Amino acid sequence: MRVLFFTLILFAFVPGAMAAENSSAVAQSEAQAHTHYCPMHPEETGMEGDNCPICGMHLVPMEDKAMDMDAEHEHEMHSPAAPTKDADGQQVYICPMHPHITGEEGDNCPICGMHLVPKNEVSGSHEGHEDKPEGAFLIDPSYIQTLGVKTHQVAHHEFGRNIRAFGRVAPSTRMEYAVDVRTKGWIVDLAVDAVGDTVKKGDLLFTYYSPDLMNAQSDFLIGSRVGNAAQRLRLYGMDDKAIAELKERGKFFEETPFYAVVDGTVTMLNVRKGGHVNEGGSVLKLQDFSKVWVNADVPIRDVQFLEVGAPATVTMPETGKAYETKIDFIHPVNDSKSRTVPVRLILDNPDGALKPETYVDAAFSANIKSRLAVPSEAVLYGKMGAYVIEDLGDGYFRPVMVKTGITADGLTEITRGLSHGQTIVETGQFMLDAESNLKGGMAAMGHDHGQ
C-alpha cells in the first residue's frame, strides 16, 4: 500500500516538472533567438544572419549595442578637446555611430559603412549637461557634416491640393459653323469636295442656283436703300461679302456665291456638285481648331476642391508639351459608371498640335492658400506617427511629433507640432533618427514640442 502511494505521488510530480522544464527551455530558446539587433532601429531584434525589416541592414550582436550605448554615454558626458592619438602618435579614427570601431583615415565602419572620423580626447567634466534641452540628444559638431545634415526653417508657403485626371481633346462647339441654305435649289459648283479640306475666311465654298434667292436679290436691288432688304438676304443665307458684290455689280446672281465666314476645316459635307438641296438643308460644317476643349474626368471626391477659373495644366504624354489654362466649366452631372465628373478646359491651339480624341493628362492646383509647410523629405514616419527632427542649436537635436495635411509640390503641410521660424533637419535626418533611437531620444516623443 505504501509503495502504491509513493508511485502515485511520483506520477503527479513528474509531468509538472517536465512542463516547467519545457517552459524554461522555450523561454531560454526565445531569449537566445533574439541575440542580434539593428544599429539603425534598435527596437528590431532577431537571430544571427537576419536583416532589419525596416532598413534591410544586417543585425549585429547585442554586445555591440551595449558597447555603443556605453561609448555614446561617455561621449555625451564630456566635451570635445584635442585629437586623440595612439601610442605611435597617429590620429585615431572612429565610427560616429559605433564609437568602439576604430581604424585609419579613409576606412569605413564594417557595421554601417560610414566613413570613420577623427576621435577627440575628452575631459572628465560634465559642464553644460544640466542645460540639455528636454528630449534632446547631442551630436558632436565635428561629424554633423559627415552625417550630411542640412536644415530648413519652417515657413508658410502658397500651395494647394494637387488633383490629377485623364482628359480627352474635343472640338469646341463654340468654334463650329454650319453652312446651310434657306431656299430650295441646286449646287452648281463645289469649291470644297472632301471632309478635311481647309479654307480661309472669304474663300468660295460653292455656288447655288435658287429662283427664290434670285427674287430676293432683285427686291434688294430695287429697294437697296431700305435696310431690311439686306437683312432679308442674310436670312436667306447670303453673307456680307456676297451682298457687297451684288450691290457693286447691280444685278442679281443666277449662281449665288457662298463664302467661308471663318478659317476652318470641313468636318461635314452633305452635298455633291449638281445635287438638289431642300429649303433649310445643311450643306457643310466648318470647324475652327485654333481653340479646343479638353474634357477631364475628375473623381467625384476631388470635385469639391475645384472651381471655375482655377488654374490647370494639360500635358501631352507623347511629347511632354504642357499647356497652362483655367477651368471653364464643371458639369453638374457625374458619370455613374466611372464615378467622375467632366471638367472642361479651353486651350489655344494655333499650330493644331492638339488633335481631337487625343488623350492627355490634366493637373489641377486646388484650394491654394498660405500653409505652414516643410519639405516632404523632412517628415519621417514611425509607429507613433509622423515626426521631424528639430535642430535646437549647439549640436542638440530632438524628434518632434507632427500632424500633416496635404502634400503637393514637394511640400507637406504641418497642421500641428511646429510653428513658423523653427529649424528642422531636411536631409540627413535618417542618421540623426538612428542616433536618437540609440540615445533614447524617442522616449520623449509622447508630447508635442511645437504648437
Answer yes or no: do 272 and 186 share one domain: yes
Answer yes or no: do 167 and 306 share one domain: yes
Answer yes or no: do 314 and 345 share one domain: yes
| CATH assignment of the domain containing 348 | 2.40.30.170
Query: Could you tell me what percent of the chain has a pLDDT over 70?
Result: 74
Answer yes or no: do 202 and 280 share one domain: yes
Answer yes or no: do 302 and 382 share one domain: no
How far apart CA 399 and CA 390 sit, in angstroms, is 6
Answer yes or no: do 264 and 178 share one domain: yes
For residue 362, give the C-alpha cell. 490634366
Alpha-carbon distance values, 238 to 122, 215, 230, 233 (Å): 100, 13, 9, 6
Q: What is the pLDDT of residue 145?
A: 72
Ordered DSSP codes for 280-331: T-EEEEEE-TTEEEEEEEEEHHHHTT--TT-EEEEE-TTT--EEEEEEEEE-
Residues 98, 115 contacting (CB under 8 angstroms): no
Answer yes or no: do 167 and 253 share one domain: no
- Domain-ending residue, one of 285, 300, 316: 285
pTM over 0.85: no
Number of domain units in the chain: 4
For residue 304, give the C-alpha cell. 469639391
Q: What is the pLDDT of residue 268?
A: 96
| CATH assignment of the domain containing 252 | 2.40.50.100
SS3 75: helix
Q: What is the pLDDT of residue 23?
A: 46
Q: Report, as an integer, the average pLDDT of 190-203.
A: 94
Residue 306 inside a domain? The answer is yes
Which domain does 411 fall in, by range? 150-159+370-444
Residue 12 inside a domain? The answer is no
Answer yes or no: do 188 and 328 share one domain: no
Per-residue pLDDT of 218-236, as tens digits, reads: 888 887 555 677 888 888 8
Say which residue, 167 or 106, is predicted with more confidence. 167
- What is the rounded radius of gyration, in angstroms, for the C-alpha atoms of the chain? 41
Q: What is the pLDDT of residue 356?
A: 95
- Domain-ending residue, one of 285, 305, 336: 285
Residues 267, 286 contacting (CB under 8 angstroms): yes
Answer yes or no: do 113 and 212 share one domain: no
Residues 400, 382 contacting (CB under 8 angstroms): no
Answer yes or no: do 190 and 122 share one domain: no
Q: Report, as an integer, the average pLDDT of 37-66.
A: 71
Residue 5 inside a domain? The answer is no
Averaged pLDDT of the chain: 80
| Burial environment of residue 30 by CB neighbours within 10 A (0 to 12, 13 to 18, 19 or more) | exposed
Per-residue pLDDT of 164-176, as tens digits, reads: 999 999 999 999 9
For residue 376, give the C-alpha cell. 516632404
How far apart CA 339 and CA 337 sit, in angstroms, is 6
Q: Is the pLDDT of residue 126 over 70?
A: no
Q: Is the pLDDT of residue 143 over 70?
A: no
Answer yes or no: do 274 and 307 share one domain: no
- Domain-ending residue, one of 285, 314, 337: 285
Answer yes or no: do 210 and 181 share one domain: yes
